[in-house]
Structure 1
């Protein structure tokens, strides 16, 4: 699955999005050209169920939304005392995505360093199925009264990925914990701004490409895309613990100058 981190950027209009395309048609236009997108508004604030329902209605049935977890959990609470916050996140409408719900991304700020007790406690609290997520969601607090979504289409597996930005997560114990809980350690290209981890810790691989020379801005050369395509083929050639081909999710976050959708399409073409 190759896509972009978000889809609503003014710089894309008149470039990736044709002149005259109304904003409300942008997601459906993108979904005709790539199979997945990273939904990042959920990182900044709790979205509403009707928003998730609308987004689901605008994409094909086999489209996949990766959903970025709440920064209240990762940046403010720093993975501590998170039960109510995680319940609120899943009650906010995430489960309304139904079968289009893909991996949940949890991004940590650089100031959050590896602590085995804290990381282990966080990983143990993550729901592994939509049924478990629904059970957590029912414990939401008063902030979600009257605006929660407490339904699922079916009890399906949930996948998680963690994107740390502290070099302390290079500790082998961090990798072991992630493997124990089958949570993917994000492979992130940040032009050297933050550490690059490459350990495979789950049945899926989650890649975020922020830019090779300038974070969030620079595009990828043909040679660089060839290298990423080779890495993805390597990951996909392996099987997961169930004997199935390993899934790889790749999202371009070099959106500031409009490179992300073009790079995503170019990479996908190399892998067809």
Structure 2
């Protein structure tokens, strides 16, 4: 990668009633909310995919309501991460990739896989899962093509998709080891930066960076100083410079420009859009 990476800031989801009259103007209909969010944010993380498979037409509709350059991150299904806990998941993965995310085309951003808090580090199980994940549009098409026969409404072509990227969020202390960092780097899978007391580290493990900012450690939200601090970190990743601060589990890779995705998902959800827009403004977006 040359030049400077692209920084996109956004929120997890876009349907949130308390935003109406605050982020969303009074009188805006719910059907207009995604289009409005798309003009004020750089990305949105789709969380509905965690609970159940969606329909291809839903993804097409979402893509059609957002501007060029906007992207959606897509959260992997709980069947894979929480119920089967990464074991024997080839078929559920095929069904998931066929359920519509590829229909986002150029608006497809990274897939994010969130592990349950009580799931510890099993290197062999994780290795099997990471090896399964498609790493290119062609791989994703082939994987989606192996969906089960009952899925008659499937989207298995990746027209317009530029890249297939994956991020992994872990929440168990047993993952806090350099070996885990090395494992993710071998597969070019980003370790989610969570900004929590439980997971405060900033290790970069892929050719992009993925943040799910959940409230500065010991806090429920972000104040002006936190926003400035995060703007500086995101800029450093995008520009290829060293981070101005932060804790790490392993040696930092050689700095180089990276695309950055930062989603505000803190318990202070009411102010998530404002936080995302404030960081973007400080970065000149």
Aligned residue number for residue 46 of structure 2: 39
Indicate conservation of the 8 Å contact 1:186/1:197, yes or no. no
Aligned residue number for residue 122 of structure 1: 129
Distance (Å, rounded) in 2 between the aligned partners of 1:200 and 1:108: 18
**1:162-173 aligned within 5 A:** 162-173=168-179
Distance (Å, rounded) in 1 between the aligned partners of 2:61 and 2:116: 30
The match for 2:74 among 50, 67, 74 is 67
Distance (Å, rounded) in 2 between the aligned partners of 1:72 and 1:257: 26
Distance (Å, rounded) in 1 between the aligned partners of 2:182 and 2:269: 38
1:207 and 2:214 are equivalent in the alignment: no
- Pair 1:254–1:87, CA change in 2 (3 A): same
Distance (Å, rounded) in 1 between the aligned partners of 2:267 and 2:24: 13
**Structure 1 position 98, deviation (Å):** 0.4
Distance (Å, rounded) in 2 between the aligned partners of 1:150 and 1:176: 32
Aligned residue number for residue 111 of structure 1: 118
The match for 2:239 among 237, 240, 244 is 237
Distance (Å, rounded) in 1 between the aligned partners of 2:27 and 2:124: 53
Distance (Å, rounded) in 2 between the aligned partners of 1:270 and 1:143: 48
1:252 and 2:264 are equivalent in the alignment: yes
**1:37-186 aligned within 5 A:** 37-144=44-151, 146-154=152-160, 156-186=162-192
Give unpaired runs (5+ residues) of structure 2. 1-7, 242-252
SS at match of 1:157: coil
Indicate conservation of the 8 Å contact 2:140/2:158, yes or no. no
**What's the RMSD between the two structures over aligned residues?**
1.9
Indicate conservation of the 8 Å contact 1:91/1:140, yes or no. yes
- Pair 1:257–1:174, CA change in 2 (3 A): closer
Indicate conservation of the 8 Å contact 1:219/1:263, yes or no. no
Aligned residue number for residue 222 of structure 1: 224
Indicate conservation of the 8 Å contact 1:185/1:197, yes or no. no
Distance (Å, rounded) in 2 between the aligned partners of 1:90 and 1:147: 12
1:11 and 2:36 are equivalent in the alignment: no
**Structure 1 position 245, deviation (Å):** 2.3
SS at match of 1:73: helix
Aligned residue number for residue 247 of structure 2: none
Distance (Å, rounded) in 2 between the aligned partners of 1:128 and 1:161: 12
Higher RCO, 1 or 2 (CA under 8 Å, sep at least 6)?
2
SS at match of 1:258: helix
Indicate conservation of the 8 Å contact 2:119/2:172, yes or no. yes
1:268 and 2:280 are equivalent in the alignment: yes
Q: Give the TM-score, by structure 1 length.
A: 0.92
1:27 and 2:39 are equivalent in the alignment: no
- Pair 1:155–1:98, CA change in 2 (3 A): closer
